Structures are given as C-alpha cells and as structure tokens.
Amino acid sequence: MHSSYVEFISNTHEAFGPNDSASQRWDTANMLVRRLGGTALNIGAIHIDSTEPKWMLSSMSPAWLYRYVNEDLYKIDPFIPLLKNRNAPIELDTTIRKHTQPLNPYLFEAGYKFLYGLPFSGSNLFERKVVTFCTDLTRAEIQARGYLGFIHILAAILATQVQPIDSSAPVRDQYFSKNTLSRRETESLALLAQGLRNQRIAEILGVAEVTVRKHINSARKKLGALTREQAIAIALQHGIIRLGITSDI
C-alpha cells in the first residue's frame, strides 16, 4: 500500500475519539468528506431482501431530501437495487444524462455531480450498510486531484465509525436529522415569505432582530440557497413552508 494511504488511514482513525458520541462521529465524518472535495454524505443500512431502510443519515440539502421523499424519487434510485447483489463501488455521474439513469437530472439540478457509493456487510446476514460520497465536482475533477482512492478508503472507515444517532426514531426522522430546518428557522422564513421585515418578525417571535437574521441565514445555508429570495422559493417549492401559514408560535 502506498505510504500516503497508510498515513491517511492513521490520521482518519485518529480523528475519531474513543468516547465520541454518535452525533460527534457524524460531524467528524462530514468534516473528513469535505476535505476530499465532498459536499454531502449518506450512510445507512437496508434490509437485503426488502431494501427497506433500517436507519439512515444524510447531510444532503433539505430541499433535495424533501424532494427525494415527497416525489418518490427513491423509486428510481439506482443505488438501491444494486446494493442487493453487488460488492463493488457504485458510481453515478450526473453530468451524463442517460435515459437509463433517470435520477441524474434531479441530482444535477440539486448540485450533486458525482456520487460514489460503497456497500458493506451490516450487523447481521440480512443487513447491508452503504456509504455514499456526494460532491459538486465531476468525476474527472475528483480523479485529477487524486481523491478517488482516498474516498474509497474513507468510506470503509466511516462504515465502521458512524452509527445511527437515534436508532429508535423513524427512518424518515433520522434521514432529515442534521439539516432539517428548526422550528424557528421555518417560522422566520415563512414570515419573511409574507413580506415582513426582520424587525416585525422579531416582534412576532419574541426574539431579538439579530436572532431572526441568524435563523434566516441558517435556513438559507441549509437549503443551499444563495439569497433569501432563493431560500423562500426552494422552501415553497418543496412544501417546507406555505404562504400565510406558520406553526403555532
């Protein structure tokens, strides 16, 4: 094995503390993914026969996750059927608009150009774990930077280091656990969509104006939006907020 791989393995293992919580390990995993040019990470386990998810964590954008679930895009996800009978890496280059890969246009629109997934044995004979690296770089760009081999190694390490944050929670709640908008972020964005200014939103929510700005900025980042207006559009499109409706305040 190349010496750079040996050093990478050592450094990656050292990034995880022996007493780290599941949440801390998930945060560390995403930090390591970003170092290799990644923008998101999916890790979960499925039942081999039914492909029913047992647990799932994802740092993909909330807008994409809501769309994936609410528009039944999982039904055309090429990773799911391949997981049952394949041990080799699964690659998805969304810059290639093939009719045999119907999920590509949706992923490309969401900003994910290349996905690299690796299946692993689960906790029992009927379980399969999968780690998927997502990036806004193309496969050619990842390869040119020499990252592909390191991504493969990282996936293998993450498969052993990352566990469900709350295995008792419904899978859907686990899937949205890290990037879902908080109640206050949702309320602030919904009131902003009604044309209210920060000062008035602060009065309604009973918080400081600077807090409102933080909520809206956090919501914008989670949704992968460049502007407030784009964040509102994304949230409305995917049913995260509705005009004229906010949660009980």
CATH number at residue 200: 1.10.10.10
Q: Assess whether 115 and 220 both reside in one domain.
A: no
- Work out the average pLDDT over 192-214: 94
Q: Assess whether 151 and 121 both reside in one domain.
A: yes
Residue 137's pLDDT band, with cuts at 50, 70 and 90, is: very high
The first and second tokens of residue 217, run together, are 């900025």
94 within domain boundaries: yes
Residue 99's pLDDT band, with cuts at 50, 70 and 90, is: low
Q: Assess whether 112 and 200 both reside in one domain.
A: no
195 within domain boundaries: yes
Q: How far apart are CA 41 and CA 49, in angstroms?
A: 24
**pLDDT number for residue 173:** 53
| DSSP 8-state class, residue 75 | G
Q: Per DSSP, what are the bridge partners of residue 118?
A: 131
User: Percentage of the chain surpassing pLDDT 70?
Assistant: 87
Q: Assess whether 58 and 152 both reside in one domain.
A: yes
> Which of 157, 175, 193 finishes a domain?
175
| DSSP 8-state class, residue 6 | H
- Work out the average pLDDT over 59-79: 80
Answer for the pair 132, 103: CB distance below 8 angstroms, yes or no.
Answer: no
Q: Assess whether 133 and 96 both reside in one domain.
A: yes
The region of weakest confidence among 6-15, 83-92, 222-231 is 83-92
Q: Assess whether 164 and 198 both reside in one domain.
A: no
Residue 209 reports pLDDT greater than 80: yes
Give the burial string for 23-38 (b: 16+ CB within 10 Å, else e): eebbebbbebbeebbb
- pLDDT tens-digit series, residues 144-179: 999 999 999 999 999 999 988 765 555 555 555 455
Q: Assess whether 150 and 61 both reside in one domain.
A: yes
Residues written for the chain: 249
Domain with 213 in it: 183-237
**pLDDT number for residue 117:** 92
Query: What pTM was computed for the model?
Result: 0.71
**pLDDT number for residue 249:** 52
Tokens 């949440």 locate to 23
- pLDDT tens-digit series, residues 76-94: 888 777 666 667 888 999 9
Q: Concatenated DSSP letters for 161-197?
A: H---S-TTS-HHHHHTTTTSPPHHHHHHHHHHHTT--
**pLDDT number for residue 76:** 84
**pLDDT number for residue 224:** 74
The beta-strand segments (E) located in the chain are 40-47, 53-58, 90-93, 114-121, 127-135
38 within domain boundaries: yes
The one-letter amino acid code at 137 reads L
244 within domain boundaries: no
In the chain, the number of structural domains is 2
Answer for the pair 40, 58: CB distance below 8 angstroms, yes or no.
Answer: yes
Residue 100 reports pLDDT greater than 80: no
**pLDDT number for residue 136:** 95
Q: Assess whether 39 and 159 both reside in one domain.
A: yes
